[in-house]
Amino acid sequence: MAQQIYSSDVAFTPAVKAIQARKGSRKSYAHVEESGGWRTEVDSGLAEFIAAQTSFFLATANAEGQPYIQHRGGPAGFLKVLDKSTLAFADFSGNRQYITQGNLVENPKAHIFLIDYVNRQRVKIWGEARVVEDDPALTSSLMPQGYKARPEQVILFKIAAWDKNCPQHIPQKIDLADIVEVIKDREQQIAALKVQVEELTRRLSESGSSASQ
CATH code of the domain in which 46 resides: 2.30.110.10
Instruction: Quote the pTM value.
Output: 0.83
Other C-beta atoms closer than 10 Å to the C-beta of 140 total 11
CA distances from 49 to 52, 111, 146 (A): 5, 17, 22
Q: For residue range 58-89, what is the model confidence (pLDDT) as tens digits?
A: 999 999 999 999 999 999 999 999 999 999 99
Identify the pLDDT of residue 173: 87
Same domain for 157 and 61: yes
Distance between start and end Cα atoms, the chain: 99
Same domain for 123 and 68: yes
What is the residue range of 188's domain? 174-208
**80, part of any domain:** yes
CA distance 121 to 4: 28
Same domain for 143 and 95: yes
Domain count, the chain: 3
Same domain for 132 and 107: yes
Q: For residue range 89-112, what is the model confidence (pLDDT) as tens digits?
A: 999 998 889 999 999 999 999 999
Q: For residue range 7-63, what is the model confidence (pLDDT) as tens digits?
A: 999 999 999 999 999 999 999 999 999 888 899 999 999 999 999 999 999 999 999
CA distance 39 to 163: 7
pLDDT band at 213 (very low <50, low <70, confident <90, very high): low
CA distance 69 to 56: 10
